[in-house]
Structure 1
């Protein structure tokens, strides 16, 4: 009797995986629950191997075929980001870009300045940047290390700043997700790189796909970001989206590349790390998107004390 139940139970387990893989490949994103759940697609892909293994052990042909199709669908979605590829050929100036979500500026200012001294970024994107944080990092000498800045401090999660070793100027006002005036905002600036070439920068802070008005704000805040084209552009920060979100893939398809994906590190998880159980599954919501004409020499994530995000450090080569 138990043996007879194995096959129907396997089919029962396989159906949710098939639905997950189908929704992911179709790109349909019903809001709130699925927009959060789809972030964990890499874990679902790994778990989908279990019904395949059982099907192989019991040697049930139809079940093996179905499980292979489901696992294959997940592999199509997930595996490419773990394989380096698609890098541009570029031989211009090198830019090291560090982006940090400060968790309401909970990161100690001295820790932030120490990281800048140690890693020597050319560009620093700071999210959730408060007035007090600005005052403290200035006292600690950040402006001597990175003398150019475009900063709009705020309270809690609203503020942002871009610091640079190279000349920097504002590029209009902050970019908000229409019509959500209370949403986090993206901060644009224009960098003049060595040799005189200008590069558009955006410190990204998208809404989270959570409850209330933020559910609608989430996709809008990604779509508010400028598409690729024209002047070289680098978007770096907290996108609150993974490569399994269709809205982020649509933005990338305008002519960007994801730095982690290009270097085969697209499964480097960045959130949540602070005050969470060690085994709580992590997702990759912090990204560096760059114009496809820009090459990526290196991408890594860095632990920052007192914030739930990993910082991203990317070494880019301009054309």
Structure 2
């Protein structure tokens, strides 16, 4: 018999497989973190609705539509370089942002309306800098029925009159003031001034529009105080909170103006949740920017100007913007139809 061969009782150690390390090393990692931190911050501020505490957070959240494509590219790079945990968190945030931003590019389904169409134009005339003749030309060319003006000064009022505004929109409620706090409404139909809003930093003129053979409509010229100045966000939040919510009678109501807020700000979304429709969002133009328009070589970036309508009484037919020389905002024009005739 052959002698038995014995083997050691312990297992033979095999050489360890090299760990799959991240690609790019420390330098690439540090560079990626320079983008990861602000992207995560903007995403969380937007998704959690924590944007009203400071002007920086308000400004950052306004850029959410631009953060989204950055996040998509950043997520791809993180996963490609095998930074799995951070990459998966970035992927989750990007998907969540897609769900809140993408619907703005799709027109909402709506029933057919039978009521009168109203063409509503809103213009921040930038005090005495805006071209009043261009505003009146827009009113004529677009057959505007209702005009909302922000930052209306006595000089701007005189310029609008000299350009012939009263010939096309003979009825008005003007609260012209020096500086950026004035506002006004002009109409093709008779107006009766009303007090609808709570006290605000700037003028918020409001009126009842006497339409022939239709229910009367309330309209407010809106201009909350800007949130990134020395006063902080408190006046901005207070002014937005002071805007009227649809009442129990659901009076047809239009809010038109420079809201100094975008669809990504929680205070503005809260207003929509009370029962308003944003005209731009309704027709799939919710990403159309309106400000700033006076910076050389820089296009408009953020949608701050809006036309909102009561969701029980109006349907949105169209939305567009127009340039007004001298101002830092695009004018916005919405065609809205009364749902009942």
Q: TM-score, normalised by structure 2?
A: 0.85
Match of 1:67 in 2: 90
1:142 paired residue number: 165
C-alpha deviation, 1:8, in angstroms: 6.6
* Equivalent pair of 2:174/2:185 in contact (CA under 8 Å): yes
Residues 44-79 of structure 1, C-alpha deviations (whole Å, 9 max, x = no match): 112112212213544665454333212112212211
Distance 1:206 1:305 in 2: 23
RMSD: 2.1
From 55, 59, 67, the equivalent of 1:44 is 67
| Unmatched segments (≥5 aa) in structure 2 | 1-21
SS in 2 for 1:48: helix
Alignment of 1:18-37 (within 5 A): 18-29=40-51, 30-37=53-60
Q: Size of the alignment, in residue pairs? A: 313
Cα contact 2:196–2:244 (8 A) shared by 1: no
Is 1:241 the equivalent of 2:261?
A: yes
Deviation at 1:10, TM superposition (A): 3.9
* Cα distance in 2 between the residues matched to 1:18 and 1:140: 50
Decide whether the 8 Å contact of 1:175 with 1:185 is kept in 2: no
Q: Is the 8 A contact 2:195 2:206 kept in 1?
A: yes
Cα distance in structure 1, aligned partners of 2:164 and 2:298: 37
Cross-structure match for 1:273: 293
Number of the residue aligned with 1:223: 241
The separation in 2 between residues aligned to 1:239 and 1:272, in whole angstroms, is 14
Partner of 2:7: none
**What are the Cα deviations for residues 90-117 of structure 1, in whole angstroms up to 9, with x where unaligned?**
2100000000000013122222222211
**Counterpart check, 1:16 vs 2:38:** yes
Is residue 11–residue 63 contact of structure 1 (8 Å, CA) maintained in 2? no
For 1:175 and 1:92, locate their aligned partners in 2 and report how far apart those are by CA, in whole Å: 30
**Residue 57 of structure 2 is aligned to residue 4 of structure 1:** no
Greater gyration radius: 2
Q: 1:17 aligns to what SS in structure 2?
A: helix
Aligned counterparts, 1:198-213, within 5 A = 198-213=216-231
> TM-score, normalised to structure 1's length?
0.91
SS in 2 for 1:220: helix
Q: Is the 8 A contact 2:152 2:180 kept in 1?
A: yes
Aligned residue in 2 for 1:283:
302
